Amino acid sequence: MKSIYIHIPFCHHICHYCDFNKVFLKNQPVDQYVDALLREIEMVSPLLIEPVETIFIGGGTPTALSAKQLERLMLGIEKFIPISSDVEFTIEANPGDISADQLSVLRAGGVNRVSLGVQSFDTGLLEKIGRTHREKEVRETIDLLTNNGFTNISIDVMYGLPGQTMDQWKDTLKKAVQLELPHFSAYSLIVEPKTVFYNMHRKGRLSLPPQELEADMYREVMDVFSQHGLHQYEISNFAQKGFESKHNKVYWDNEEYIGLGAGAHGYELGKRLSNIGPVNQYIKAVENGNRPTNHTHEVTRVERMEEEMFLGLRKVEGVSAARFYEKFGVQLVDVFHSPIEEAIGEGLLQSDEVGVRLTDKGRFLGNQVFEKFIGVIE
């Protein structure tokens, strides 16, 4: 395994749309959690035969850890994980929620990429979605990052938010590109179960933009980022050449990776695994000397071929025919002839000797295309 995901579940506040495993930081056993995380890292170290090429620390809010706690985590990673000299080492952070002391620790620990959850530059929308930062904190945090030697910075922005207008979205995109960062992710809001927005939606209290407006917002983001020299390399991701997310590409290429921490997911030796979510139960499992896995699924050959398609088609380059044959010993156009032809006929997919990929129209209807590849292999 050449990639590792590490989950920090603590947050200073809970965003209304977030369905990741998270808890309020206050009164949590954070030091014990870091201890357990380091023990889990040690447990999986025998699997790390080759140097790790990507590490991603996500959450939650990883920078909810103090500088001292982050330093312990960095030292443990250095001790137990063989790291490639050109590793992409990412940490997530929130604007206004990271200090120079923390950045110093992270730089010393090898972190070289920061992903900021900005979501919007509109104060009213930020309040609606449960974010506590404002535009001022975004700019101050980016200045802090660059002054501390971080140049590989990505920000997330969101569209399709409750009550969001096209003018608000255009303003967010304008302010985003003015930052002249090398990477941006633009996600449409998905109302997930176990979120504040889900409960509001069930009660009829969530006013979302119509689908036509959301499609126009997606078209706008593609146009604006393209005009500013950022190429789209995945449905929701845009970058300057050379700044594409290597870690996320592991997911889209359907490659294996290790997931560590409470609620983390992994893909190891042909199995999809998920860890225990509740923090105290996670800690107890590790203290008892066990890997804290609560669910394991052995991925069948058919499932792997299906995943190769619906994950790989998220990439603008699409699914490689040669790579598919190398993995499975069969031609993808033979295995998935019917759904490919159907999607081509609908103008959603294009195919050649290199592979298959979404058309411009297909990017707007990605989920509709992905579903075509599930349950068709006999």
Judge whether residue 198 has pLDDT over 80.
no
The whole-angstrom separation of Cα 34 and Cα 41 is 10
As for how many domains the chain has, the answer is 2
pLDDT above 90: residue 65:
yes
Q: Give the per-residue pLDDT at 179.
A: 96
Distance CA 117, CA 18 (A): 12
Q: What is the pLDDT of residues 350-368, one digit of tens each?
A: 999 999 999 999 999 999 9
Q: Please indicate, yes or no, whether residues 212 and 348 belong to a single structural domain of this protein.
A: no
Share of the chain above pLDDT 90, in %: 87
Residue 151: closest CA among 109, 179, 175, 121: 179
Query: Given this model, what pLDDT does residue 294 score?
Result: 95
Does residue 291 form part of some domain?
no
In the predicted structure, residue 262 carries a pLDDT above the cut 90: yes
Identify the band that residue 192 occupies on the pLDDT scale cut at 50, 70 and 90. Answer: confident
Average pLDDT over residues 203-232: 94
244 versus 23: which is more confidently predicted?
244
pLDDT at 20: 78
Same domain, 83 and 206: yes
Spatial CB neighbours of 79, under 8 Å, sequence gap ≥ 6: none
Residue 151 pLDDT exceeds 90: yes
CATH number of the domain enclosing 358: 1.10.10.920
Please report how the helices 166-178 and 211-227 are oriented relative to each other, as an axis angle in degrees rounded to 10: 20
Give pLDDT, residue 17: 77
377 — pLDDT class (breaks 50, 70, 90): confident
> What average pLDDT does this structure show over 163-173?
97
> Are 159 and 239 part of one and the same domain?
yes
Is the pLDDT confidence value at 36 over 90?
A: yes
Find the CATH number of the domain harbouring 196: 3.80.30.20
Q: Domain check: are 64 and 203 in the same one?
A: yes
pLDDT (tens digit per residue) in 86-99: 999 999 999 999 99
- Residue 180 sits in which domain range? 3-252
Does 141 share its domain with 39? Answer: yes
Lowest mean pLDDT among 187-201, 241-255, 343-357: 187-201
- How far apart are the C-alpha atoms of 129 and 120, rounded to whole Å? 10
Contacts of 44 (CB under 8 A, 6+ apart): 258, 260, 291
pLDDT at 176: 97
Residues in the chain: 378
What is the pLDDT, as a whole number, of residue 26?
87
Q: What is the mean pLDDT of residues 156-166?
A: 96
pLDDT for the residue 194 = 81
Task: Say if CB 183 and CB 151 are below 8 A apart.
Answer: no
Final residue in a domain of this structure, among 252, 267, 283:
252
What number is the average pLDDT over the span 216-225?
A: 97
Among 252, 283, 303, identify where a domain stops: 252
Q: Is residue 280 part of a domain?
A: no
Are residues 324 and 245 part of one domain?
A: no
Q: In the predicted model, is pLDDT for residue 292 greater than 90? A: yes
In a domain, 163, yes or no: yes
Any domain includes 80: yes
- Same structural domain, 82 and 219: yes
Name the least confident of 151-155, 175-179, 191-195, 265-269.
191-195
Task: Decide: pTM greater than 0.85.
Answer: yes
pLDDT greater at residue 251 or residue 20: 251
Q: Is residue 19, in this structure, part of any structural domain at all?
A: yes
Instruction: Give the domain-ending residue among 236, 252, 268.
Output: 252
How far is residue 271 from each of residues 140, 177, 265, 311, measured CA to CA in Å?
42, 40, 11, 17
